[in-house]
Amino acid sequence: SQLNLAVVVGSLRKESFNRQFAEALVKLLPADVKPHFIRIDDLPLYNQDSDGAPPVPAVKRLRDEVAAAHGVLFVTPEYNRSIPGVLKNAIDQASRPWGQSKWAGKPAAVCGMSVGAIGTSMAQAHLRNVLAYLDMPLLGQPEMYFQWKEGVIVNGAIGPASHDLAQKFMTAVVAWVRRHQA
Ligand code: FNR
């Protein structure tokens, strides 16, 4: 059956390497898995005072889109050895009010692209910590620590040197998401 894979990109930058990476990765999905890019750039900063009130439209949209997903793929840069605040804000927004987290139980996978040599490994470790707390079953292998350089993405597709790993990863993501459907 058809799967809806939510894709969350942790950068708002127009030419974001992670957005380019995410767009290239979803080209490796089989036809029965539809990627859905989740918008996070218009979310207000999370404030617990708002938990009791109806959510503003952008937050309601985020929560509905996460709720509708069969699984979630996070594609994130590393900022100062952690995840960007914009990504944490989106995660927090869909995790509340207490007891109504939209992330709970959604199978997830993480990957990222950085200009630094460690390829977002510390950001991914922090993100895994957050997602584990949110009760999201996390794909363990293969890991995807990408460094931006010439040839990593060619004409919007994963370049030849990384193609096999990326394909293996996306195949594992789909199998992981399928395995966790009730
Ligand atoms: C960075 N960058 C970065 N890179 C890295 O490998 N480790 C890090 O801790 C950081 N820290 C960091 C902090 C801040 C505030 C910025 C703006 C950048 C560099 C980062 O890899 C680079 O800017 C990427 O291009 C960001 O990803 P997008 O926006 O291209 O997807």
Question: Global pTM?
Answer: 0.98
SS percent in the chain: helix, strand, coil, step 5:
40, 20, 45
Beta bridge partner(s), residue 110: 74
Residue 35 CB-half CA count within 13 A:
19
Cα of 41 from ligand 1 centre, angstroms = 17
pLDDT for the residue 170: 98
Residues with CB under 6 A from ligand 1: 11, 13, 16-18, 77-81, 114-116, 118
Beta bridge partner(s), residue 34: 4
Q: Which ipTM value was assigned to this complex?
A: 0.99
Mutate to test the pocket of ligand 1, among 115, 126, 152 (most ligand atoms within 8 A of CB): 115
User: How many folded domains does the chain comprise?
Assistant: 1
Q: Is the pLDDT of residue 7 over 90?
A: yes
pLDDT for the residue 182: 79
Cα of 113 from ligand 1 centre, angstroms = 9
Write out pLDDT tens, residues 12-64: 999 999 999 999 999 999 999 999 999 999 999 999 999 999 999 999 999 99
Write out pLDDT tens, residues 88-100: 999 999 999 999 9
pLDDT for the residue 20: 98
Atom of ligand 1 nearest to the CA of 82: 9
Task: Report the percent of the chain where pLDDT is more than 90.
Answer: 99
Strands 71-75 and 33-37: unpaired
Distance CA 29, CA 19 (A): 16
pLDDT for the residue 155: 97
Instruction: Supply the residue whose CA is at minimum distance from atom 10 of ligand 1.
Output: 79
Structural domain boundaries enclosing 62: 3-179
**Average predicted confidence (pLDDT) for the chain:** 97
Report the CATH number at residue 155.
3.40.50.360
Please, is 180 exposed, middle or buried when counting C-beta atoms within 10 Å of its C-beta (0-12, 13-18, 19+)?
middle
Task: Report the percent of the chain where pLDDT is more than 70.
Answer: 100
Mutate to test the pocket of ligand 1, among 80, 83, 87, 126 (most ligand atoms within 8 A of CB): 80
